[in-house]
């Protein structure tokens, strides 16, 4: 078994930062009416700026694959070129197309050489799953290096024209032309961007590296129903009816492809299952809060921070405030890319010292999955 190191990290955030007051200028008004939920949601998530890969006319400036490529190319220099890549592992919840895979589309833009590809599909954990593929490939000796990414392009999914036909349908039915909160909620939560790590089987000769000590992942889909979803709709019995089982006209009338979230389920389970899984991961590897110098939790909203602290404290995992490192308020919730973007910022902050230990924590509300990584600065 070989040691694995993150030897370089990069991010790409498109265009200029978008303030809270500018959001509807980019995403558009639904039914020509300002969202009543927007200010409440923003007050709770405390995000003040985010990035969109669209302009104010709603026109795309980048695809997801282009965002990812733009992060990856920053990893290349005279010591590691695009011709040295052996594995490309890409995670996202918002691929540009259903097929080919996201990794294949990114590789097509890199135009470097033949490499092994892996695409990790899911929601926030897809970025961590992509990282674990690269980690295990190097650890097993299958490869000497891997580039792993997390990326999202959700702004076009959230744009007002995507809901136009649903509003028209509601008016025809003489119902209130307001989209359900489960759809409006996420319009003010999500943003675009990409992050990339270079993994190698030896530490870098230039600057710090992060040794990946272990990675763990947990799913509770066996006991909990779907919470966050797209490309289908939830039935009264909790099952998801897939888009392919709807008539094509329903895709537009009911906004079947819109990203939706069951907020009640989220509130009930995301913190308890997160605390349970993190406690299990730390116990499995015999570490305590004393063995963590930096804690990087991906949280979708600042609303959950105090609840997470309380839950961890009750489990005896007391991570003091100075150990927490977050950039959610400044860059937004970038889904699978968030943990990459946060760690990139910490790496390049100049704060890290050799021997310090970092714990990454990523929850996914899709059907409640959680992923963790433990790193040592060297």
The model's pLDDT over 296-337, given as tens digits with 9 standing for 90+, comes to 999 999 999 999 999 999 999 999 999 999 999 999 999 999
> Which helix (H) or strand (E) segment is 238 a member of?
none
C-alpha of 285 from chain center: 25
Q: What are 87's strand-pairing partners? A: 116
- Residue 175: exposed, middle, or buried by beta-carbon count in 10 A (0-12, 13-18, 19+)? exposed
- Residue 200: exposed, middle, or buried by beta-carbon count in 10 A (0-12, 13-18, 19+)? buried
% helix / strand / coil in the chain, to the nearest 5? Answer: 40, 25, 40
CATH class of 5-212: alpha beta
Please report how the helices 102-110 and 64-72 are oriented relative to each other, as an axis angle in degrees rounded to 10: 50
Statement: residue 86 has pLDDT above 70 = yes
pLDDT of residue 89: 99
Q: How far is the C-alpha of 87 from the C-alpha of 100, rounded, in Å?
A: 17
Statement: residue 5 has pLDDT above 90 = yes
Q: Which long-range contacts (CB under 8 A, 24 or more apart) does 345-351 make?
A: 345/11, 346/294, 346/296, 347/6, 347/9, 347/208, 347/210, 348/9
DSSP-based three-state secondary structure for 164: helix
Residue 12: CA count within 13 A, CB half-sphere: 24
Q: Give the CATH number of domain 213-377.
A: 3.40.47.10
What is the token pair recorded at 61? Answer: 């400036």
Question: Is residue 56 a contact partner of residue 106, using CB atoms and an 8 Å limit?
Answer: no
DSSP-based three-state secondary structure for 270: helix
Global confidence as pTM: 0.95
What is the token pair recorded at 213? Answer: 């000590």
What is the token pair recorded at 293? Answer: 């110098």
Q: What is the pLDDT of residues 186-209, one digit of tens each?
A: 899 999 999 999 999 999 998 999
What is the token pair recorded at 310? Answer: 């309380």
Q: How far is the C-alpha of 59 from the C-alpha of 53, rounded, in Å?
A: 8
Is-same-fold flag (5-212; 213-377)? yes
Nearest to 96 by CA among 171, 194, 203, 221: 194
Q: How far is the C-alpha of 123 from the C-alpha of 334, rounded, in Å?
A: 10
Matching residue, tokens 């955030």: 13
Q: What is the pLDDT of residues 107-165, one digit of tens each?
A: 999 999 999 999 999 999 999 999 999 999 999 999 999 999 999 999 999 898 887 76
Domain segments of the chain: what residues? 5-212, 213-377
Residues 6 or more apart from 160 whose CB is under 8 A from it?
Answer: 27, 28, 29, 30
What is the token pair recorded at 141? Answer: 């000796």
């Amino acid at each position: 078994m070989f040691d694995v190191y993150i030897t370089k990290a990069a991010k790409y955030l498109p265009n200029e930062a978008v303030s809270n007051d500018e959001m509807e200028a980019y995403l558009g008004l639904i039914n020509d009416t300002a969202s009543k939920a927007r200010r409440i949601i923003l007050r709770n998530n405390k995000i003040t700026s985010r990035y969109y890969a669209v302009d104010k006319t709603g026109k795309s400036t980048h695809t997801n694959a282009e965002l990812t490529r733009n992060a990856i190319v920053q990893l290349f220099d005279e010591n590691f070129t695009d011709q040295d890549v052996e594995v490309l592992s890409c995670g996202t919840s918002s691929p540009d197309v259903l097929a080919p895979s996201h990794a294949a589309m990114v590789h097509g833009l890199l135009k470097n050489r033949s490499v092994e590809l892996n695409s990790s599909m899911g929601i926030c954990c897809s970025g961590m799953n992509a990282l674990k593929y690269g980690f295990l490939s190097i650890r097993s000796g299958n490869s000497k290096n891997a580039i792993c990414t997390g990326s999202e392009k959700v702004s076009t999914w959230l744009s007002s024209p995507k809901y136009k036909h649903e509003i028209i349908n509601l008016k025809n039915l003489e119902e209130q032309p307001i989209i359900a909160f489960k759809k409006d909620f996420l319009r003010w939560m999500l943003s675009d961007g990409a992050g990339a790590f270079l993994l190698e089987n030896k530490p870098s000769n230039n600057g710090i590296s992060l040794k990946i000590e272990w990675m763990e992942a947990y799913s509770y889909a066996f006991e909990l129903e779907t919470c966050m979803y797209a490309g289908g709709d939830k039935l009264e019995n909790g099952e998801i009816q897939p888009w392919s089982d709807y008539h094509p006209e329903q895709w537009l009338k009911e906004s079947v492809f819109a990203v939706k979230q069951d907020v009640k389920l989220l509130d009930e389970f995301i913190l308890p299952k997160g605390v349970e899984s993190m406690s299990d991961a730390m116990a499995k590897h015999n570490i305590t809060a004393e063995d963590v110098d930096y804690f990087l939790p991906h949280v979708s909203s600042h609303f959950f921070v105090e609840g997470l602290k309380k839950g961890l404290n009750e489990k005896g995992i007391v991570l003091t405030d100075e150990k927490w490192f977050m950039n959610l308020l400044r860059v937004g919730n970038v889904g699978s890319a968030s943990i990459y973007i946060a760690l990139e910022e910490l790496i390049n902050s100049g704060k890290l010292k050799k021997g310090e230990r970092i714990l990454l924590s990523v929850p996914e509300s899709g059907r409640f999955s959680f992923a963790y990584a433990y790193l040592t600065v060297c």
